[in-house]
């Protein structure tokens, strides 16, 4: 979750019209709608009721709106404190090949550029290890890396600092005609019989799944190795194999029509960190302020759930106040 998603939500909540909100935010309507859907997935709740004729806040949307405004005000205040009108320099950012919808990097980078036009931005998409290596060599200033655990490189003179941005479970995706698709429950042992589609071993997601199978002493047969999420989905659509992927990827349009089965396990999680060095400069600190931590997201979810329960328990017709 980042500052731009919050800005989009507040704009739609105030206008109750996606077209007008998009015009106000200088973004395409499709881009704004996609960002809102991503925010709803992160919060695990629907924020707007959408019909061809109207848009309205759901109870969860009403509960989130005052918190969203506070988050936005706090983030903007922090940015003002850190920055001055002359902030400039270069920001070199790297990331994993695929962040799912946990971090909308293109929108985040565009938002940063809009806030700080005097900072030159360079962006690279690499494997997680390559990103970390470039950070340690001083060739990158910050990175988004999907990796659990601590970032303490042995024998390095530079120290990496990190905070968790998001955490999601994996899920199994498979074609509707696949033999496993009709089962309500799928056990780990069931997966040994079937072919898998997966990413190259340099991808963090592949290493996470490999480790999960090894920990259970199970054999996994990866028949199709790809370096492109679209290809993975195409092969799964054709019933050539199954795939265990971070849940946000299963929400992509390319996955439409695939059967999705949750695989929530402690050792099977997609954890995204914002990583930088201890001597990072002002542009990195500014970028960090635009990204909300996983703790903030968890607290926000809990707040929405509690407020929604309170609203649901109010007597019918009780007066409610709040801006929409």
CATH number for the domain including 42? 1.10.10.10
| pLDDT, position 153 | 54
The DSSP H or E segment spanning 261 is: strand 259-263
CA distances from 67 to 10, 25, 74, 127, 303 (A): 10, 20, 10, 36, 9
Give per-residue burial for 304-320: e unless 16+ CB within 10 Å, then b: beebbeeeeeeeeeeee
Averaged over 308-313, what is the pLDDT? 72
Q: What is the CATH number of the domain that holds 192?
A: 3.40.190.10
Contact of 247 with 146, CB cutoff 8 Å: no
The answer to whether residue 163 sits within a structural domain is: no
114 and 146 share a domain? yes
Token pair recorded at residue 164: 């968790």
Reported confidence tier of residue 299, pLDDT bands at 50, 70, 90: confident
Summarised one tens digit per residue, pLDDT across range 90-147 is 999 999 876 656 677 888 888 899 888 899 999 998 887 888 889 888 899 999 988 7
DSSP secondary structure letters along 53-107: S-EEE-HHHHHHHHHHHHHHHHHHHHHHHH--TT--EEEEEEE-S--TTSS-HHH
Residues 262 and 227 in one domain: yes
Does 248 or 265 have the greater pLDDT score?
Answer: 265
Domain identity same for 219 and 241: yes
3-state secondary structure 127-139: CHHHHHHHHHCCC
Residues 126 and 204: their CA atoms lie apart, in Å, by 11
Task: Name the pLDDT band for 295 (thresholds 50, 70, 90).
Answer: confident
* 258-274: average pLDDT: 90
Count of domains for the chain: 3
- What's this model's pTM, rounded to 2 decimal places? 0.78
- Would you say residue 318 lies in a domain? no
Residue 321 falls inside a structural domain: no
Q: What is the pLDDT of residue 48?
A: 95
- Identify the weakest region by mean pLDDT among 4-13, 233-242, 266-275, 302-311: 302-311
Give tens-digit pLDDT for 3-12.
Answer: 889 999 999 9
Is residue 122 a part of any domain in this protein? yes
Residue 233, domain extent: 168-269
With respect to residue 324, please indicate whether it lies within any of the assigned structural domains. no
Same domain, 147 and 221: no
Q: What is the mean pLDDT of residues 17-27?
A: 92
- In this structure, the answer to whether residues 286 and 146 fall within a common structural domain is yes
Same domain membership, residue 223 and residue 144: no
Hey, what are 10's tokens? 């507040």
Tell me: do 104 and 30 sit in the same domain. Answer: no
Residue 322 within a domain:
no
Judge if 100 and 139 occupy the same domain.
yes
Are residues 51 and 15 part of one domain?
yes
Task: Please indicate, yes or no, whether residues 68 and 154 belong to a single structural domain of this protein.
Answer: no
For 1, counting Cβ atoms within 10 Å of its Cβ (0-12 exposed, 13-18 middle, 19+ buried), the class is: buried
Q: Are residues 189 and 57 in the same domain?
A: no
| Residue positions counted in the chain | 324
Helix (H) or strand (E) holding 275, with range, is strand 269-277
- Pairing relation of β-strands 142-146 and 259-263? unpaired
Query: Which has more pLDDT, 322 or 208?
Result: 208
Q: For residue 156, is pLDDT > 60?
A: no
Are the CB atoms for 139 and 276 separated by under 8 Å? no
Q: What is the mean pLDDT of the chain?
A: 86
On whether both 61 and 208 belong to a single domain, the answer is no
């Amino acid at each position: 979750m980042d500052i731009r998603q919050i800005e989009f939500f507040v704009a739609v909540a105030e206008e109750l019209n996606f077209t007008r909100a998009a015009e106000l935010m200088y973004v395409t309507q499709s881009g704004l709608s996609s960002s809102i859907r991503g925010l709803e997935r992160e919060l695990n709740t629907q924020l707007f009721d959408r019909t061809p004729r109207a848009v309205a806040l759901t109870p969860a949307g009403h509960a989130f709106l005052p918190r969203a405004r506070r988050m936005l005000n706090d983030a903007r205040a922090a940015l003002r404190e850190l920055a001055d009108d002359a902030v400039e320099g270069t920001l070199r950012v790297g990331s994993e090949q695929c962040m799912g919808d946990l971090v909308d990097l293109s929108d985040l980078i565009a938002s940063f550029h809009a806030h700080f036009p005097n900072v030159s931005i360079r962006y690279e998409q690499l494997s997680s290890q390559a990103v970390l290596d470039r950070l340690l060599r001083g060739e990158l200033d910050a990175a988004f890396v999907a990796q659990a655990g601590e970032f303490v490189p042995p024998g390095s003179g530079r120290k990496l600092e990190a905070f968790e941005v998001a955490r999601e479970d994996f899920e199994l995706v498979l074609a509707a005609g696949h033999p496993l698709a009709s089962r309500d429950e799928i056990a780990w042992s069931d997966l040994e019989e079937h072919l898998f589609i997966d990413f190259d071993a340099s991808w963090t997601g592949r290493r996470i799944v490999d480790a999960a199978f090894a920990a259970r002493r199970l054999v996994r047969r990866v028949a199709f190795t790809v370096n492109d999420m679209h290809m993975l989905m195409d092969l799964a659509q054709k019933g050539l194999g199954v795939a265990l992927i971070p849940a946000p990827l299963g929400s992509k349009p390319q996955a439409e029509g695939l059967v999705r089965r949750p695989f929530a396990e402690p050792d099977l999680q997609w954890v995204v960190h914002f990583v930088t060095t201890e001597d990072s400069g002002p542009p990195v600190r500014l970028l960090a302020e635009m990204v909300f931590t996983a703790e903030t997201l968890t607290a926000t979810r809990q707040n929405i759930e509690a407020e929604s329960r309170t609203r649901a328990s109010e007597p019918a017709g009780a007066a409610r106040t709040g801006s929409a």
